[in-house]
Amino acid sequence: MSRIGKRAVAVPSGVTANVEGQTVKVKGPKGAMQLVLHDDVKVTMDKGAVKVEPRSETKRARSMWGTSRTLVNNLITGVTKGFEEKLEITGVGYRAAVQGKQLNLQLGFSHDVNYPIPAGITIATPKPTEIVITGTDKQQVGQIAAEIRGYRPPEPYKGKGVKYVGEYIFRKEGKKK
């Protein structure tokens, strides 16, 4: 039995949720989103909550049970609070700035890296060495953070590069004389 899947996802006030077959549509103060769930799970609405159950007792259905419940929960969280990911830039001359619809990154290359900001995502740079990514879709926010970090991942000797806030970088000792 899935411990996560057993719990129903409560729909808070100010949020409307509709279930049509395998499609869950959620509308809230931060926007509207929809999700098509796997055929191995059954989705129902009852008493202001979305309930997810497996259609059969196969391994695939049971594994999709908890996953589907979490995806529905992320939809509801996204349209109410939203998701945020923070990145930190370390290194001399490394900085970021938002210019219109692009994020301009100076990461020690011979050229600047321009990252186009997709629709539905907000990127802010409160400091030149800090990037804040916000949006309603958890997967998209995490993917964009990973792509930006991928331009210059932190290296283990000096720790220079782009890292998540709170991420621990395992440091190595340099060469000896």
pLDDT tens-digit series, residues 9-27: 999 988 999 899 889 999 9
Distance CA 124, CA 98 (A): 7
* Structure confidence by residue, pLDDT tens digits, 26-77: 999 998 999 999 999 999 998 889 999 999 989 999 889 989 999 999 999 9
Q: Is 57 exposed, middle or buried (0-12, 13-18, 19+ CB in 10 A)?
A: exposed
Write down all domains in the chain, each with its CATH number in brackets: 3-80 (3.90.930.12), 83-164 (3.90.930.12)
pLDDT of residue 177: 80
Whether residue 105 is predicted with pLDDT greater than 90 in this model: the reply is: yes
Q: Which among 27, 8, 31, 24 is positioned nearest to 16, based on CA atoms?
A: 27
Strand, coil or helix: what is 50? strand
β-bridge mates for residue 90, sequence order: 161
Distance CA 155, CA 80 (A): 37
